[in-house]
Amino acid sequence: MTLKTTKAIWDYLKEEYVGDGRIRGMQVLNLMKEFEMQKMKEFETIKDYPDILLSIANNVRLLGTQFDDSRIVEFLLVILLEKYEASITTLHNTKALSKITLAAVLHVL
């Protein structure tokens, strides 16, 4: 309320909500920890779970840190429930996992 110009207001809001580099770094670390701690629950469908991972990844990207889709694919293949084991084995045998896209993995699953 005490700020006079729109530039001053913008600068204040930018600092308040984006923070400095150290704060952004801590936010990225917290998001990465949240990403790594994700576990697929029995009641979650294969359609819902990647959305959770992508949401976290997009928040990391918004903070200016690189987060490749290949990392999401690798993590997804590791933490999926046992009922998807046959599909994962098929992916391993037929595709180059280093080049497979998230959309291709979801299509197979």
> What's the farthest any 2 CA atoms get from each other in the chain?
64
DSSP state of 82: G
Q: Greater confidence, 107 or 75?
A: 75
- What is the pLDDT, as a whole number, of residue 33? 95
Residues 6+ away with beta carbon under 8 Å from 105: 73, 76, 77, 91
53 within some domain:
yes
24-40-51-91 Cα dihedral, nearest 10 degrees: 110
**3 contact partners, CB below 8 Å, separation of at least 6:** 9, 12
The pLDDT-based confidence of 18 (bands split at 50, 70, 90) is: low
Q: Provide the residue range defining the domain that includes 47.
A: 6-108
Q: Is residue 1 part of a domain?
A: no
Inter-CA distances, 102 with 18, 19, 29, 63, 94, Å:
29, 32, 23, 22, 15
Given a cut of 80, is residue 108 above it in pLDDT? no
Number of domains in the chain: 1
* Single pTM value for the model: 0.69
- Whether residue 32 lies inside any domain: the answer is yes
pLDDT, mean of residues 1-29: 82
Specify the pLDDT at position 31: 93
State mean pLDDT over 16-28: 77
Confidence of residue 3 (pLDDT cuts 50, 70, 90): confident
Give the per-residue pLDDT at 19.
Answer: 64
